[in-house]
């Protein structure tokens, strides 16, 4: 994998990965050409969290009251950390989930299942942790939810759009993360905000604007 520059240093997001192609799996689909490892996923997701903190952004759909942006006196290690569960699913599983939860009878690249409901308080990446950094055994790690990614769809899209496969994975991991944090792209202004976050985070990872390559 080509080494790329990231604004993420210490991971702010821990991931737990399950895969249809695990050791005890009887997956019907062929093994994907490439699957990201935990370090790749944590780096991508942590970069998204850190960008939100640096820019002082928050989604109006998550929180109405203002929070304080990152203070230079507080290093990244003093910030709240998060966890995300990742599932690498076959097309059949992705289709079933997409049909069940979105009413769309086809597999899709990424599905986001946030823990917070719209009626609840959305977690904000701008919150400072009172209990210390990730290296502190007593530091609370806040779960954000689950992402289900379908490698066969991701590989097909990367090929059709002439994109680097790893870059496309990074984009979809970030796309799913921002959905977990309450961002959306239904309305035009919401879509512009979300795409801007994705583009800027990918740029920090050395990845070109994916929307110019479609």
Rounded Cα gap, residues 80 and 123, in angstroms:
10
The two beta strands, 110-114 and 141-149, are antiparallel
The two beta strands, 141-149 and 13-19, are unpaired
- Residues 38, 15: contact at Cβ < 8 Å? yes
Q: Specify which residues 172 forms β-bridges with.
A: none
From first to last of the 214 residues of the chain, give the pLDDT tens digit: 444 444 446 799 999 999 999 877 778 999 999 999 999 999 999 999 999 988 764 443 344 443 444 333 333 334 689 999 999 999 999 999 999 999 999 999 999 999 966 545 555 544 533 334 444 445 678 999 999 999 999 999 999 999 999 999 999 999 999 999 999 988 889 999 999 999 999 999 999 999 996 5
* Stated pTM of the model: 0.80
């Amino acid at each position: 994998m080509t080494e790329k520059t990231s604004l993420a240093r210490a991971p702010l997001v821990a991931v737990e990965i399950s895969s249809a192609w695990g050791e005890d799996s009887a997956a019907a689909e062929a093994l994907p050409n490439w699957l990201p490892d935990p370090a790749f996923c944590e780096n991508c997701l942590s970069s998204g969290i850190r960008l939100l903190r640096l820019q002082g952004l928050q989604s109006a759909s998550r929180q109405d009251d203002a929070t304080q942006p990152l203070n230079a006196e507080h290093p990244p290690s003093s910030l709240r950390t998060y966890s995300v569960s990742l599932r690498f699913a076959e097309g059949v599983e992705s289709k079933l989930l997409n049909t069940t939860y979105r009413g769309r009878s086809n597999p899709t690249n990424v599905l986001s299942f946030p823990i917070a409901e719209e009626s609840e308080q959305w977690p904000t990446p701008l919150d400072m942790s009172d209990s210390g950094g990730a290296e502190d055994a007593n530091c609370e790690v806040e779960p954000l939810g689950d992402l289900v990614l379908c490698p066969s769809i991701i590989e097909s899209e990367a090929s059709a759009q002439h994109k680097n496969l790893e870059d496309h994975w990074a984009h979809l991991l970030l796309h799913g993360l921002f959905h977990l944090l309450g961002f959306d792209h239904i309305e035009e202004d919401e879509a512009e905000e979300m795409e801007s976050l994705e583009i800027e985070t990918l740029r920090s990872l050395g990845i070109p604007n994916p929307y110019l390559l479609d």
